[in-house]
Structure 1
Amino acid sequence: MDPRIEKALAITPSSSARERTIDITTTGARTGRQRRIEVWFYRVDGRIYLSSSPARRSWYANIVAHPDFVFHLKHGVRADLPALGTPVRDPAQRRAVFSSIIADLNQPWNPAGIPQPVEPLEAWMHGSPLIAVQFVAEASA
């Protein structure tokens, strides 16, 4: 993988909101139409995840129905990365990932500018989408 892409994906708790912001293009669960939206991504234990605060999200339903999507880097480097999204349903894995995300968002320095404290872990466990991202091919930058 291109070193610039690896660097863009290697976010840490000190990464800014801008560095965490990407677009994804999914296929509509009901319409079959391509949908591009802006989301944040997270890195936990070397893996990339998509999630959000507790709520129903169309992008999640789209990825569940059509797991192939495009992960668009747009800050620092522009790249369209073909990806496969897998819903994380195992409670232990969800708890570990959400615990890390919440700790990141609640850190005192708060580089992402999120209002604190974020919703409690149990709210995320029961109401937040969680997708594990696997990149399926090297993209062109």
Structure 2
Amino acid sequence: MSDDTATALANDRVIDITTIGRKSGQERRIEIWFHRLDGRYFITGTPGRPRDWYANLVANPGFTFHLKETTTADLPAVARPITDPAEREKVFAGLLAPLTDFTTKPGQEPEVWVSTSPLVEVTFP
């Protein structure tokens, strides 16, 4: 991994991901935030409606993680959906701690994130 890539993974937040459509088999690219916690990488979404990107990653965990802020790089990645309630609570406790502006709104309390938000851990093979 280049120094620029390592720096971007340590400091950036906005990325694109390209998933493979669970029904169509077509590539789908979207912009999304990623999060770092204890040397691990995660992608989530706000509580609420189901997300196509999440369904695509459940069906096809291999995807492309596109860095685009401080450097550009297309990284092969694998998503692991986090469904265990205890693990979700632990991860969300860490991810949400610096995001109090999101978790003080009605319907976005931490327990709502834990119960209704998509959450995947990202690894880079």
Is TM more than 0.5 here? yes
- Within the candidate set 81, 85, 90, 2:75 is matched to 81
* Contact map agreement 2:76 2:124 (CA 8 A) in 1: yes
1:18-50 per-position Cα deviation (integer Å, ceiling 9, x unaligned): x31100000001111100000000011110000
| CA distance in 1: counterparts of 2:19 and 2:116, whole angstroms | 21
1:115 shift after superposition:
5.0
1:85 shift after superposition:
0.4
Unaligned runs of 5+ in 2: none
Residue in 2 that maps onto 1:125 = 114
Residue in 2 that maps onto 1:110 = none
Give % identity.
47
Report the aligned-residue RMSD: 1.3
AA paired with 1:9?
Answer: L
SS at match of 1:125: helix
- Within the candidate set 35, 56, 68, 2:28 is matched to 35
Residue in 1 that maps onto 2:19 = 26
1:92 shift after superposition:
1.6
AA paired with 1:39?
Answer: I
| CA distance in 1: counterparts of 2:102 and 2:39, whole angstroms | 26
TM-score (normalizing by structure 2): 0.92
Counting matched residue pairs gives: 122
- Segments of 4+ in structure 1 off by > 3 A? none
CA 1:115–1:122 in 2, change beyond 3 Å: closer, same or farther?
closer
| CA distance in 2: counterparts of 1:116 and 1:135, whole angstroms | 29
* Contact map agreement 2:103 2:110 (CA 8 A) in 1: no
Q: Work out whether 1:103 is the aligned partner of 2:90.
A: no
